[in-house]
């Protein structure tokens, strides 16, 4: 009898998990199609304790797109509290801090994201851009070079590296990266 009750409880738990997972997958699909209202409706149907870090992140992104930035930040923090290794939440928090002009907080969050996902060129790129805002061209250079190492076909990576080399008074390398930029955008 106890075994039957345990099996029934397990079955109910798995059914609930499957339903939550299905809602999460549907919400992600709606989010991909920019259907924010349906995305919110589906995620809000998921019990808070059962929401994944991805669910919290998507809620944050929807709120950010609606201009509710402070609420979005709260959702990113919820994503991190759900999964401290969820690099996307740190990345989005860093982007928020850049927009607010809080560059040191942005740097800290980009670094946390990189500790978890060190092969993402866009994290390096955004970190490099943030270092430019802090007038730290040497650190910007390092990060743009890493971005290019992982993805060499993005024109903006080369353009910003050319700018950094120009600021560092290295005209030769500035011209090389400016030429790379022009080739990538089809000017050569």
pLDDT of residue 20: 54
pLDDT of residue 5: 46
pLDDT in tens, 17-70: 445 568 889 988 988 888 889 999 999 999 999 999 999 999 999 999 999 999
pLDDT at 10 over 90: no
Q: Give the Cα separation of 117 and 113 in Å (integer).
A: 6
pLDDT in tens, 90-146: 999 999 999 999 999 999 999 999 999 999 999 999 999 999 999 999 999 999 999
Among 10-24, 73-87, 170-184, the minimum mean pLDDT is found in: 10-24
What would the mean pLDDT of 133-161 be, rounded to a whole number? 98
What would the mean pLDDT of 75-101 be, rounded to a whole number? 97
pLDDT of residue 187: 82
pLDDT of residue 173: 98
Predicted confidence band of residue 11 (pLDDT cuts 50, 70, 90): very low
pLDDT of residue 73: 96
* Structural domains of the chain, ranges and CATH numbers in brackets: 9-84 (1.25.40.10), 103-188 (1.25.40.10)
């Amino acid at each position: 009898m106890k075994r039957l009750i345990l099996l029934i409880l397990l079955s109910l738990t798995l059914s609930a998990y499957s339903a939550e997972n299905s809602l999460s997958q549907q919400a992600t699909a709606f989010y991909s199609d920019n259907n924010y209202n349906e995305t919110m409706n589906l995620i809000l149907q998921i019990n808070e304790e059962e929401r994944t870090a991805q669910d919290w992140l998507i809620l944050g992104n929807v709120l950010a797109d609606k201009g509710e930035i402070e609420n979005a930040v709260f959702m990113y923090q919820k994503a991190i509290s759900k999964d401290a290794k969820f690099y996307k939440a740190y990345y989005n928090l860093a982007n928020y801090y850049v927009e607010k002009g809080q560059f040191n907080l942005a740097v800290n969050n980009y670094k946390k994201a990189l500790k978890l996902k060190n092969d993402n060129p866009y994290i390096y790129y955004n970190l490099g851009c943030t270092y430019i805002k802090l007038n730290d061209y040497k650190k910007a250079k390092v990060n743009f070079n890493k971005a290019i190492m992982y993805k060499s076909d993005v024109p903006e990576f080369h353009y910003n590296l050319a700018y950094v080399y120009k600021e560092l008074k290295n005209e030769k390398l500035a011209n090389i990266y400016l030429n790379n930029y022009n080739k990538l955008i089809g000017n050569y």
